[in-house]
Structure 1
Amino acid sequence: MTQQFHDTTLSGQALDQIFRAARTYNGWLDKPVSEAQIHAIYELMKMGPTSANMQPARLVWVTSDDAKEKLAQLCSDANKDKVRAAPVTVIIGYDIDFHEELPWLFPHTDAKSWFEGNEAGRKEGAARNSALQGAYLIIAARALGLDCGPMSGVDLDGVTKEFFADQPRHRADWICSIGYGDPTTVHDRSPRPDFDKFNRIG
């Protein structure tokens, strides 16, 4: 029996929207992002692969004026107004004790036992895989017609204390504003290397 292959490559327009024409925005149009859109981003993001389906990312979606101001005060001067103006800024954090959820997230085997008694290993795995999930978040938001402004200029210890105070095993890692970007706030695109610069095929 001959297996049939189908071309499932996304359209050029879709690839432009997600990658080639997408930009990092520094300012935002006065246009809201709904809770339904926030849920839609997460429903796509969660489908991206993580090690043993650990899903370590813990997200806080900052939308109220009060929460925005609290977050802005923990940002570098260059990022304060970005957070204030964005419809939503999501805090991407991770749970050091993600392994407690593995019995239902990865029921095929006793994956929880792989991480018990190894907090350093859990921190490493949680940081790496939550960063992956943050990348999936950006792709999901762009795929849904939204723009992103990821930022690392933030007091992470302060964000952890302010926004994860009720979850002492959670740690903030970075933040990303989401909305409809103001095209006048985009810088010229920085260089992107050709394949041969940083790649080898063995």
Structure 2
Amino acid sequence: MTSLDGTAARARLLELIKELAVVHGRVTLSSGKEADYYIDLRRITLHHEASALVGQVMLAMLDDAGIDFEAVGGLTLGADPVATAIMHVARSQGRAVDAAVVRKAQKAYGMQRQVEGPSVEGRRVVVLEDTSTTGASPLAAVEGMRKAGGQVQAVAVIVDRATGAQALIEEGTGVPYFAAFSKDELGLD
């Protein structure tokens, strides 16, 4: 796929999210809360076309906000393909941005790491998630990154569900929260 300009990339990604990721019907979210829709962003982050758009849109959003970072990552599994997409798009632009995977808990064997990938110690990092309802996953990832010595600069998600996660994350971590899309942009209420 050839790279689209920022406006076209964002518009195309929004179109793909609406088409592929928004599932209507009563569902129970990982938080235990019920909703009338589900945003299955793995249908986007693991999609052959949308993945590159995720990287392009998320990287541009962070750059536009003036966030300076050397690595990205978050709690496995939702953040993993987002981090990889940003890493690949950054590389295509001649930039060095590493990806990291944050486990829910530190391993009890091997290297006994909670954060996998190139070391984040002493490095500026952005914590990622595909979407967040309660903020629990990004909060856990921020804690893991900080324990590993990462200097967390921001938390960024693809879609904000407008359920209070932003305030919780910003208050709980002291870093800004960014979302590429709001649920309103997806036509959800």
**TM-score of the aligned structures, taking structure 2 as reference length:** 0.28
Higher helix share: 1
**TM-score of the aligned structures, taking structure 1 as reference length:** 0.27
Structure with more relative contact order (C-alpha pairs < 8 Å, separation 6 or more): 1
